[in-house]
Amino acid sequence: MPLVQFPQALAPHQIESIAKRLFWLLPAVLALVFVAMMALWAEFNDAQSRKVYQETLLADALSVEAQLTARQDMEKVRLKDVASRLPLGAKDPVASLALMPEVVAGLDRLWNRLVWLDDNNQVIARAERKAPISANSSDELRIQSTGQADHYVAPLQDTQGFNRGKLLARFDITDLLRSTDLVWLNRRYEVNFVSELGQVIATTASAARPPLGTGYEKPLAGFKDTTLRLTPFDAPESWRQHPKTLALLGGLLLLGMAASALTRHEMRLVARANAQTQTEIAWRQAMEDSAFVGLRARDADGRILYVNKTLCDMVGYSRAELVGLMPPLPFWPPDAVDDLMARNLKTLAGYTPTTGFETRWRHRDGHLVDVMIFESRLVNARGTHIGWMGSIIDISERKRLEERDRQHGETLAQHARLNDMGLLASELSHELNQPLTTILSYSAGLNMSLKQLPGVDPDDLVAINEIVRHAGKAGEIVNWIRRQASRSEPVRKQCDLNAIITDVLQLRKRHIQQAHAKLVTDLSLHGADVIADRIGIEQVISNLVRNAADAVNGQSGRGIIGIATKVLGGSEGGKKSIEVAVRDNGPGLQGRTIDMLCTTFYSTKSDGMGLGLGICRTIVESHGGNLFAEEALGGGAQFRFTLPLVTPSAP
Ligand code: ADP
């Protein structure tokens, strides 16, 4: 009984060839074929025996016929001999005939009467046998009917060759048969001589020894109306009449059938066990393949012996590709091969943390997979340590979530810092506003006082004017920051972009000079008016120029900073916009995108805050424009931003 009843769907569907399914029939079929061949062979033997038997019968009949014919021929010759010796002119022919020794011998042997006829068929003399002839060796031949007689005739001729009559010897056929040696025949056959009327003349038939076979009849040549019938005592036996042979073949057939029945029984048991095993394998395979955990068995040298489907899916290699591999494995990231090799050696040496260890594999398609590996000892049925069984869990998703949480935390921290900075900026702008206003009013007062004094150096007046201008600008920026921080509505007015750029370049003059950069402007655009928050746009341009100056500062060649404005679009009824481009010949963006550069606190500078570009993009986009960053033609970086153009017809 199986320990577990497996679902039918998991039971393997066995498709076997008919030959395999009927294999159990083989012993019975072989036995049947063997018995059939034996029977055929015996039948063939029987046919051969019957043929030989018939041939022997025929030959024996012919022998009898030949023997009797020879005997007759001999008697005829002897009669002729008597005829040639007969004294034709004898005075007492009767005495002469009776005294002839050949005649006496012939009468003793076979003849029962000898008649001498002259040429007119008148009897001259005759001699007769007195006593019946004695039986010879064929005495088993019993005479059934007598009277069947025959005769031989020999012509008589004188010395001149004239016909002088004839000599006629009469004899009983039964005497001929009795006096012929047929003993050899008696042993094998019941011998019958039959007359034309079907009457048995002579026979060896005996009730004690009945014949078996079918009789064979042959008319005897030279015998008047006599037929020889031979009936054998022993007919050839068919194999079918041998009970032992039949029992042997039947037993063989039974043995074959018994062997088949046994084989069938065994085959059923094996098939059932096989199906059970296959079902268990399919069941186990299904469980392993549907497992969330990747499984890997290795031998003591680290050679992979087995992997389940989950592990194959994890690394993108098939089972056939992985089984048999030794470290380094194809899914180890190239830059971590040394570490993983060292870790592998530690594992094989038995140092495996029970809590598992984290590592990173590389899927065949190149993406990295974070995995947690738990190694345990693999022991065989005798308890011998033969390798390692690894359970591998894909923790990439967990890692991704952790990373997302970490980034989310960082973003929150950034926002908190930004918030703090916003508060600080608001506080500072509030604190700075008072001293800046004081500087501005004292400078203005000083300027007016100096103008009324005679002999004042005009350069002093210029300097005081600059103080007033810069203090005014600082005041505007501080107010702008306060407005930004307090989220009050931005103040947007129509303003000339060229004028804004000129002002900014004036303010950034020292910065550009410190960077030893050459300024190239292309502000040929006239009437480039935009509706904008002037201070905000000034901050954008100022930041882009400062970054360009920082980029070219300290490099070997002469730094160049270019600023250009141009009108875009409007050709097909679309809205026109103004584009401002700030270009430098510094190191360039080196593959970094605008999104990366605008990330809050992203900075490559030792004193940078990483806020500038992000604020610039916010200001530009709040005006309905876009900020772009790209590699400049001929090297360096180019930052561009657009603003909607105020057309002359616009209110
Ligand atoms: P900060 O200037 O404080 O670093 P920004 O947001 O203005 O912050 O700039 C972010 C980063 O963008 C800079 O640190 C610098 O790496 C890069 N960057 C900005 N402008 C350029 C430029 N013209 N050429 C090369 N890199 C630049």
Beta strand segments in 24-84, E? none
Contact 58, 75 (CB under 8 A): no
Q: How many CB atoms lie within 10 A of CB 517?
A: 24
Quote the CA–CA distance of 488 and 499 in Å, as a whole number. 26
> Is any ligand 1 atom within 6 A of the Cβ of residue 586?
yes
**Contact partners, residue 292, CB within 8 Å, separation at least 6:** 310, 393
- Residue whose CB lies within 8 A of the most ligand 1 atoms, among 547, 550, 605, for a mutation test: 547
Classify residue 478 by burial, with Cβ atoms within 10 Å: 0-12, 13-18, 19+.
buried
> Is any ligand 1 atom within 6 A of the Cβ of residue 547?
yes
> Is any ligand 1 atom within 6 A of the Cβ of residue 596?
no
Work out the average pLDDT over 321-330: 94
Task: Using DSSP bridges, classify how beta strands 559-568 and 111-117 pair: parallel, antiparallel or unpaired.
Answer: unpaired
Res 650: pLDDT: 45
Packing angle of the helix pair 243-289, 26-85 (nearest 10 deg): 160
Nearest C-alpha neighbor of 630 from the set 592, 579, 586: 592
Beta-bridge partners for 361: 369
Q: How far is the CA of 510 from the centre of ligand 1 (A)?
A: 19
Res 3: pLDDT: 43
> Is any ligand 1 atom within 6 A of the Cβ of residue 610?
yes
Quote the CA–CA distance of 112 and 522 in Å, as a whole number. 176
Contact 436, 475 (CB under 8 A): yes
Quote the CA–CA distance of 137 and 35 in Å, as a whole number. 49
> Is any ligand 1 atom within 6 A of the Cβ of residue 560?
no
In one-letter notation, the amino acid at residue 552 is V
Res 1: pLDDT: 44
Tally of CA atoms within 13 A in the half-sphere of 236 that contains its CB: 17
Res 488: pLDDT: 65
In ligand 1, the atom with minimum distance to the C-alpha of 607 is 3
In ligand 1, the atom with minimum distance to the C-alpha of 548 is 23
Contact 304, 298 (CB under 8 A): yes
Nearest C-alpha neighbor of 233 from the set 217, 215, 210: 210
Inform me whether the pLDDT recorded for 256 exceeds 70: yes
- State the chain's mean pLDDT as an integer: 86
Q: Which fold has domain 398-488?
A: Helix Hairpins (1.10.287)
Quote the CA–CA distance of 377 and 26 in Å, as a whole number. 49
Contact 514, 549 (CB under 8 A): yes
> Is any ligand 1 atom within 6 A of the Cβ of residue 637?
yes
pTM assigned to the model: 0.43
Quote the CA–CA distance of 535 and 480 in Å, as a whole number. 7
- Residue whose CB lies within 8 A of the most ligand 1 atoms, among 414, 590, 613, 617, for a mutation test: 613
In ligand 1, the atom with minimum distance to the C-alpha of 604 is 14
Residue range 374-387, pLDDT digits in tens: 999 988 888 888 89
Closest-CA residue, ligand 1 atom 14, reads 603
Work out the average pLDDT over 596-625: 90
> Is any ligand 1 atom within 6 A of the Cβ of residue 603?
yes
Q: How far is the CA of 610 from the centre of ligand 1 (A)?
A: 7
Residue range 37-55, pLDDT digits in tens: 999 999 999 999 989 988 9
Q: What is the DSSP letter of 133?
A: P
Quote the CA–CA distance of 264 and 257 in Å, as a whole number. 10
Residue found by looking up tokens 């973003």 in the block? 411
Contact 220, 68 (CB under 8 A): yes
Quote the CA–CA distance of 545 and 210 in Å, as a whole number. 147
Confirm or reject CATH 3.30.450.20 for domain 291-394, answering yes or no.
yes
Q: How far is the CA of 524 from the centre of ligand 1 (A)?
A: 28
Quote the CA–CA distance of 576 and 147 in Å, as a whole number. 163
Work out the average pLDDT over 515-528: 83
> Is any ligand 1 atom within 6 A of the Cβ of residue 608?
yes
Quote the CA–CA distance of 567 and 645 in Å, as a whole number. 8
Closest-CA residue, ligand 1 atom 19, reads 547
> Is any ligand 1 atom within 6 A of the Cβ of residue 635?
no
Q: How far is the CA of 515 from the centre of ligand 1 (A)?
A: 15
Q: How many CB atoms lie within 10 A of CB 623?
A: 20
Residue range 531-566, pLDDT digits in tens: 888 888 999 999 999 999 999 998 888 899 999 998
Res 67: pLDDT: 87
Packing angle of the helix pair 534-552, 458-486 (nearest 10 deg): 110
Contact 639, 620 (CB under 8 A): no
**Contact partners, residue 426, CB within 8 Å, separation at least 6:** 481, 482, 485, 486
- Residue whose CB lies within 8 A of the most ligand 1 atoms, among 555, 595, 597, for a mutation test: 597
Q: How far is the CA of 601 from the centre of ligand 1 (A)?
A: 10
Angstrom CA distances, 649 to 302, 492, 526, 645, 646, stand at 82, 19, 15, 11, 8
> Is any ligand 1 atom within 6 A of the Cβ of residue 602?
yes
Residue range 286-310, pLDDT digits in tens: 887 777 899 999 999 999 999 999 9
Q: H helices within 327-385, ranges in order?
A: 337-348
> Is any ligand 1 atom within 6 A of the Cβ of residue 442?
no
In one-letter notation, the amino acid at residue 13 is H
- Conformation bin of residue 152: beta by default, left when phi > 0, alpha when psi is -120 to 50: beta
In one-letter notation, the amino acid at residue 631 is E
Q: How far is the CA of 603 from the centre of ligand 1 (A)?
A: 6
Closest-CA residue, ligand 1 atom 12, reads 597
Nearest C-alpha neighbor of 510 from the set 563, 537, 549, 480: 549
Contact 57, 232 (CB under 8 A): yes
Closest-CA residue, ligand 1 atom 26, reads 589
Confirm or reject CATH 3.40.50.300 for domain 492-644, answering yes or no.
no
Quote the CA–CA distance of 470 and 270 in Å, as a whole number. 103
> Is any ligand 1 atom within 6 A of the Cβ of residue 584?
yes
Q: How far is the CA of 528 from the centre of ligand 1 (A)?
A: 27
Inform me whether the pLDDT recorded for 26 exceeds 70: yes
In ligand 1, the atom with minimum distance to the C-alpha of 582 is 23
Tokens of 430: 């509030």
Tokens of 561: 């900073």
Inform me whether the pLDDT recorded for 239 exceeds 50: yes
| Residue 573: pLDDT band with limits 50, 70, 90 | low
In order, the DSSP letters of 37-96 are HHHHHHHHHHHHHHHHHHHHHHHHHHHHHHHHHHHHHHHHHHHHHHHHH--TT-S-HHHH
Residue range 388-446, pLDDT digits in tens: 999 999 999 999 999 998 888 877 777 777 777 777 877 788 788 888 889 988 988 88
In one-letter notation, the amino acid at residue 11 is A
Q: How far is the CA of 568 from the centre of ligand 1 (A)?
A: 26
Closest-CA residue, ligand 1 atom 7, reads 612
What are the sequence ranges of the domains in the chain?
Answer: 27-232, 291-394, 398-488, 492-644
Nearest 5°: CA angle at 528, between 526 and 534?
135
Q: How far is the CA of 597 from the centre of ligand 1 (A)?
A: 7
Q: Which helix (H) or strand (E) holds 231?
A: strand 226-232
Beta-bridge partners for 389: 297, 376
| Residue 76: pLDDT band with limits 50, 70, 90 | very high
Q: How far is the CA of 566 from the centre of ligand 1 (A)?
A: 24
> Is any ligand 1 atom within 6 A of the Cβ of residue 278?
no
Question: Each residue of 166-196: b (16+ CB within 10 Å) or e?
Answer: bbbbbbbbbbbbbbbebeebbeebbbbbbbe
Beta-bridge partners for 387: 299, 378
Inform me whether the pLDDT recorded for 164 exceeds 80: yes
- Conformation bin of residue 193: beta by default, left when phi > 0, alpha when psi is -120 to 50: beta
Q: How far is the CA of 572 from the centre of ligand 1 (A)?
A: 36
